């Protein structure tokens, strides 16, 4: 190899990757006799074709990666972060056996609120009781101790839910079948709740 050619970077004659000046073999595939850039024009035609094809392939791969990253960044910019459903935003039909409860649990930031409504549908006209407990009062209730709800609604066949959190905490929305176990009355109700932020609101009206 001429002295000038030995001082320039070259390419592996097998895989086409760049090889440092003075190297006698490819660091990637181990093939011997890399072709210096200055000697590429005089290399065998099949060697030149292989080097050009591998260089073109690497260029396409790099361009493909750049396009993929650009698409991902642009898509994220326009679509924004994924929206995760709040556990206190629900709508559904719930069967509550006699002596049982249906419970919604979620965190509420102080000043935010949950609104909604309920209607008993089977048997129609039966009542449903609602109470909302903060973490400490719920723990007391679970321990069969006196517990004071942060908000409650008398048992009724239908009604509205309007609860404003005075401070940030985890809250328990308890929908209770109010009938004694001896009655055998199960209640099926349609319940809708919606978590609302107070940011930018002027109140509940």
Per-domain residue ranges of the chain:
3-79, 90-196
In a 3-state reduction of DSSP, which class is residue 65? Answer: helix
Give the pLDDT band of residue 20 (cuts 50, 70, 90).
confident
Summarised one tens digit per residue, pLDDT across range 103-112 is: 999 999 999 9
Give the pLDDT score at 65: 75
Annotate 2-23 with b (16+ C-beta within 10 A) or e (fewer): eeebeeeebbbbbebbebeeee
Architecture of domain 90-196: Sandwich (2.60)
Phi/psi of residue 69, each to 5°? Answer: -65, -40
Which pair of structure tokens corresponds to residue 65? 């990666």
Mean pLDDT of the chain: 83
Give the pLDDT score at 203: 47
Complete DSSP assignment for 83-129: PPPPTT-EEEEEEE-TT-EEEEEEEE-TT-EEEEEEEEEETBT--EE
Would you state the torsion angle of the CA atoms of residues 136, 142, 143, 147, taken in this order, to the nearest 10 degrees? 50
Task: State the DSSP code for 171.
Answer: E
Lowest mean per-residue pLDDT among 28-32, 115-119, 162-166: 28-32
Give the pLDDT score at 107: 97
- Say how far apart CA 146 and CA 72 lie, in whole Å: 54
Name the β-bridge partners of 128: 156
């Amino acid at each position: 190899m001429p002295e000038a050619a030995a001082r320039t970077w070259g390419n592996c004659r097998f895989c086409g990757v760049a090889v440092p000046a003075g190297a006698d073999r490819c660091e990637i595939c181990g093939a011997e006799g890399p072709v210096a850039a200055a000697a590429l024009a005089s290399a065998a035609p099949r060697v030149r074709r292989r080097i050009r094809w591998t260089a073109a392939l690497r260029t396409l791969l790099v361009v493909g990666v750049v396009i993929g990253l650009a698409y991902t960044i642009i898509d994220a910019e326009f679509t924004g972060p994924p929206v995760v459903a709040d556990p206190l935003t629900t709508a559904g039909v719930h069967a509550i056996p006699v002596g049982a409860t249906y419970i919604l649990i979620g965190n509420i930031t102080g000043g935010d609120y949950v609104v909604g409504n309920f209607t008993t549908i089977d048997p129609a006209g039966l009542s449903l009781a609602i109470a909302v407990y903060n973490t400490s009062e719920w723990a007391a209730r679970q321990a069969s101790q006196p517990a004071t709800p942060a908000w409650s609604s008398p048992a009724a066949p239908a009604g509205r839910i309007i609860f404003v959190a005075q401070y940030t905490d985890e809250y328990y929305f308890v929908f209770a079948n109010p009938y004694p176990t001896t009655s055998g009355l199960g209640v099926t109700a349609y319940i809708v709740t919606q978590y609302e932020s107070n940011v930018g609101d002027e109140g509940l009206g």
